Amino acid sequence: MRYSLLVTFCIFCLRSFGQADSLILTSKQNINWINSIKGMPLPDQLSAIRKRLLSDTNIFVKEGHPDRIKTIDSLGARVYGETRPVIMVDGMNISIDNNTKSTKIVELSKLISESTIKGVVILSGNEPETIALFGSRGIGGVIIMTSTQKKYSKKFRRLNIKYSE
């Protein structure tokens, strides 16, 4: 009985937290978000990135269909969006896709802090340079972070989120 109540409470919290009113579902919303964090100081950028990672946990991206609208599947648990930004840490491309476990995303968000990240470069998805460097994956923008020490780079790698170098 306690276990089922705990599981129900956790699912409720994850859904409530992951599906806020301010979800970024369209390409236009995503570009506005990317552009808004470009001029922020580093602590604010990292905070915005952490919040975005956590709020994106229940957003499923349908790739290759730009004429998307907000829909909810028959179970009511999935919200569909158009894109999410590419995240790179120390040259590692961290691929967060529809199959990435929420626990891994939470761990990643905890690692993104002023003590672990010394710099952030934001590339907007509507710039030709971004598309030239990252192809169609760069349409959602690119967030390039540099860790403060090699030990933190190893922690990002140990998260075991799909990545490519």
Q: 0.85 cut: is pTM over it?
A: no
Residues 82 and 54: their CA atoms lie apart, in Å, by 17
Encode pLDDT of 48-103 as tens digits: 999 988 887 767 676 544 444 544 444 455 677 777 888 899 988 887 777 777 88
Average pLDDT, the chain: 76
pLDDT > 70 fraction of the chain, expressed in percent and rounded = 72
**DSSP for 75-94?**
TS--EEES---EEEETTEEE
Encode pLDDT of 23-32 as tens digits: 877 888 888 8
3-class secondary-structure state, position 112: coil
Contact 109, 54 (CB under 8 A): yes
Contact 103, 96 (CB under 8 A): no
3-class secondary-structure state, position 96: coil
Rg (CA), the chain: 16
More confident residue, 52 or 160: 52
3-class secondary-structure state, position 26: coil
